[in-house]
Amino acid sequence: MTIEAVKVYQDLKGENDRWSVEIRRLLAGPRLLMLNLIGSPGSGKTALLEATAPAMGDGTRMAVLEGDVATTRDAERIRALGVPASQLLSGGACHLEARLVHAALADLPLAELDAVFVENVGNMVCPAEFDIGEHAKVAVLSVAEGEDKPLKYPLLFQEAQAVVVTKTDLAAVLGTDMAALRGHLEAVHGGIPVFELSARTGEGLEPWLDWVRARVKALRG
């Protein structure tokens, strides 16, 4: 990158970070948890939310902001469950910008919610670089993607405060080496909580739900 390009990248990040501050202000009043789900296209982010919403129970009232380059398919999937969902279209951009998230949050009944899940644009690289005012980034990785992804895309796994490994019901047929995957995650971010689950069968969902519930409770005090 040229020096000028670096400077404007920093300007873009600065603009983004100013909106992140505004988002934190919006969330602080109602003590609302916001999680930023980041993973490749097809890693199973929407399916994770579809499994999470009904299982969370009435104790945790949730809403979803669905980020995509194009289409409103994911928001429709979530709304079909009776969960408030807004679709954020990035208009070709490879990540969600905080300004867009702020505008969508302002449309939600924040005082009536406990947790907002943001599903970022399907991409392991760029969304990891942008703060959108979330309390935690959560990396979502399917067993179909290969064990080496934490090594090859380290920033996401370093920035994340938890990893959800999805589609574990397919690990045997895909021949995924789960021990190698766990080892790579530990090498990139020692001690990070890893939730291995299948959204399709529901197996392994409970520890992930408990982690979310504990984060909500920590905010409420």
Q: Is 154 in the site for a copy of itself (CB under 8 A)?
A: yes
Q: Does 73 bind a copy of itself (CB under 8 A)?
A: yes
Contact call for residue 202 and a copy of itself (CB under 8 A): no
Angle at 130 between CA 7 and CA 64, to 5 degrees: 150
Q: Which one of residues 123, 165, 195, 208 is an interface residue with a copy of itself (CB under 8 A)?
A: 123
Whole-angstrom distance, CA of residue 205 vs CA of residue 54: 12
Q: What is the DSSP string of the chain?
A: --HHHHHHHHHHHHHHHHHHHHHHHHHHTTT-EEEEEE--TTSSHHHHHHHHHHHH-TTS-EEEEEEESS-SHHHHHHHTTT--EEEEE-TT-SS--HHHHHHHHTTS-GGG-SEEEEE--S-SSGGGG---S-SEEEEEEEGGG-TTHHHHSHHHHHH-SEEEEE-GGGHHHHT--HHHHHHHHHHHSTT--EEE--TTT-TTHHHHHHHHHHHHHHHH-
Choice between 33 and 164, CB closer to a copy of itself: 164
Under the binding rule (CB under 8 A), the answer on residue 5 touching a copy of itself is yes
98 binds a copy of itself (CB under 8 A): no
Amino acid at 114: D
Cβ closest to a copy of itself, residue 28 vs residue 151: 151
Q: Which residue in 106, 151, 180, 218 binds a copy of itself (CB under 8 A)? A: 151
Of the pair 110, 129, the CB lying nearest a copy of itself is at 129
Total of residues contacting a copy of itself (CB under 8 A):
43
Cβ-based nearer residue to a copy of itself, 144 or 219: 144
With contacts defined by CB under 8 A, name the span among 28-36, 103-111, 120-128, 207-215 that binds a copy of itself: 120-128
Cβ-proximal residues to 191 (8 Å cutoff; 6+ apart), any chain: none
Contact between 50 and a copy of itself per CB under 8 A: no
Q: Does 4 bind a copy of itself (CB under 8 A)?
A: yes
Q: Give the binding range for a copy of itself (CB under 8 A) out of 28-36, 53-61, 65-73, 209-217.
A: 65-73
Catalog residues that contact a copy of itself under the rule CB under 8 A: 1-2, 4-5, 7-9, 11-12, 15, 40-42, 68-71, 73, 92-94, 121-126, 129, 142, 144-146, 148-149, 151-155, 167, 170, 173-174
